[in-house]
Amino acid sequence: MDFHLIAAGPLLGYLLGSTPVGLLATGLYGVDIRTVGSGRTGATNAWRAAGLKAAIPTLLGDALKGAAAVLLIRYLAGAFLPEMDATAVAAAAALAGAAAVVGHNWSLYMGFKGGAGGITTAATILAISPLIGAIVCLIGLLLIWWSRMASIGTYSVSVTSLVCAAVFAVAGLEPWPYVLFGVIAYLAVTFSLRRNRQALKDGEERVITLW
């Protein structure tokens, strides 16, 4: 039974992560987010496409779907598999959260296109480990404020999630399966930001503006 939940976690996470919140939110205002800016479905591009009225629900929705995957797996384990080993529960939750990030970036409902995964990664690691998540969110927000570039904040979220998960696991403060989430989220975000990395090198990366 442990194996069944571990196997179901990625499927559940991917389906939740695939929900195209940004596309739905901007669509309410007659805008197809895929035709604006970067073409991604995240909160930053939703802001460009239809303003804060679309960006805020996009941010909340993208955060919720990753956290929900983790919390739902933990609920199922506690309700139906109370004898399940804690490490196995951690693995199932980590895989579900990682799959939510993958689903956000390559949505089943959008021809395997989507966002960059920053908000989903941050909210998911916060649900996985509140301590690691707090560090990740703080560093990500500081870097966005300093650089005014969403891509830098997004990349820092993935890097910090992986580094903190590894450090905390080595120190015996968090289970090792959380590192698995860090690795998958880092790879998903890094691959999705490949155009942004080139734009940064060329000095052409977009900055966040209030208008």
56-115 confidence digits (pLDDT tens): 999 999 999 999 999 999 999 999 999 999 999 999 999 999 999 999 999 999 999 999
Cβ atoms of 159 and 186 within 8 Å: the answer is: yes
Q: What is the value of pTM for the model shown?
A: 0.96
Angle, vertex CA 93, rays to CA 155 and CA 101, nearest 5: 30
Q: What is the pLDDT of residue 210?
A: 56
Residues with Cβ within 8 Å of 141's Cβ and at least 6 positions away in sequence, in order, are 153
Residues in the chain: 211
- Is residue 33's pLDDT more than 90? yes
Angle, vertex CA 138, rays to CA 106 and CA 98, nearest 5: 25
**Among 112, 92, 94, residue whose Cα is nearest residue 103:** 112
Residues with Cβ within 8 Å of 154's Cβ and at least 6 positions away in sequence, in order, are 116, 117, 118, 121, 140, 189, 193
